[in-house]
Structure 1
Amino acid sequence: MHLVPKTPTTKGPAEMFCGDVHFDVIAAGEAPSRLRVNLVRFAPGAHTAWHRHANGQTLHITDGMGLVQSRGGDIIEMRQGDTVYTPPGVWHWHGATPEHFMAHLAMWESLAEGQDGPETEWGEHVQLG
């Protein structure tokens, strides 16, 4: 057992996020684990671009209020304590409501040995409103 070195907080890149988003890497899949966990903080109205994960993604809301939508689906409001699962390959976005900050734990797995394709594929920015 050992302490995992802390990495600096990172500002979410403009090609992946709209608005003010910062994240901290909590777990980066130290072999043989493939677990990825980030604590992501969104300012009011900030959100991800459309994206999908090869092995799905689980979000657990730790603070505030947020929105999540899968392509073609309804926008769902999320609150502190809610957990949302998006299956593998499903295009989706998530972020804060226009009036509230939101923070969540984003959890997913890296690619398995022999699994092809990108771990996360990013698409276009979401057009809200």
Structure 2
Amino acid sequence: MAVSVQAADVINNRATTIVRNGEQPSIMGAPSNFVGNARIDPLFTAQAPSTVSAGAVTFQPGARSAWHTHPKGQALVVTAGTGWIQQEGGEKTVIKPGDVIWTPPGVKHWHGATATSGLTHVAIQEAVDGKNVVWMEPVSQIQYEASR
């Protein structure tokens, strides 16, 4: 019996999939990985053979990630609010809607909202051996408030 192209594509995992808005629950950022309130809305998980995933992260004013690195780097697309990003040893930089930020693999950094404005960004990263981030120590209030 002949199998239609469409059925063969489904059997071979080559069919287009749609994840509907609201089908994936939001996750609150773990206190070990974030200072303040950060909500993570998963957008997509890696689909083999790809190892790329993405999520929308919304930080309340004053909230930020802990210091961290990504084994294959990370792209951020700012969609709302105003925030900061800082690479270890570098200056804190303002980020706003429409900004696209690339952080190279292994670069220690943090990002989050300013003290007075929330921030939402889409984070896109690739995994190595199933891991797309290496979490480190929290960003202290002194580090957060410092201009450098």
Q: Could you tell me the TM-score, scaled by structure 1's length?
A: 0.92
Structure 2 unaligned residues grouped into runs of 5+: 1-15
Whichever structure has more strand as a proportion of its residues is: 1
Q: What is the rounded CA distance, in whole Å, between the counterparts of 1:103 and 1:4 in structure 2?
A: 20
Partner of 2:96: 79
Partner of 2:10: none
Whichever structure has more helix as a proportion of its residues is: 2
Structure 1 unaligned residues grouped into runs of 5+: none
Structure 1's consecutive aligned runs of 4 or more residues displaced over 3 angstroms after TM superposition are: none
Larger radius of gyration: 2
- When the two structures are aligned, how many residues end up with a matched partner? 125
Q: What is the rounded CA distance, in whole Å, between the counterparts of 2:18 and 2:102 in structure 1?
A: 28
**Greater RCO, 1 or 2 (C-alpha within 8 Å, sep 6+):** 1
Q: What is the rounded CA distance, in whole Å, between the counterparts of 1:126 and 1:16 in structure 2?
A: 10
Please report the RMSD computed on the Cα atoms of aligned residues, expressed in angstroms.
Answer: 1.4
Query: What percent of counterpart residues are identical?
Result: 38
- How many Å apart are 1:34 and its aligned residue? 1.2
Partner of 1:64: 81
Partner of 2:127: 110
1:123 aligns with 2:136: yes
1:4 aligns with 2:4: no
Q: What is the rounded CA distance, in whole Å, between the counterparts of 2:131 and 2:51 in structure 1?
A: 14
Q: Could you tell me the TM-score, scaled by structure 2's length?
A: 0.80
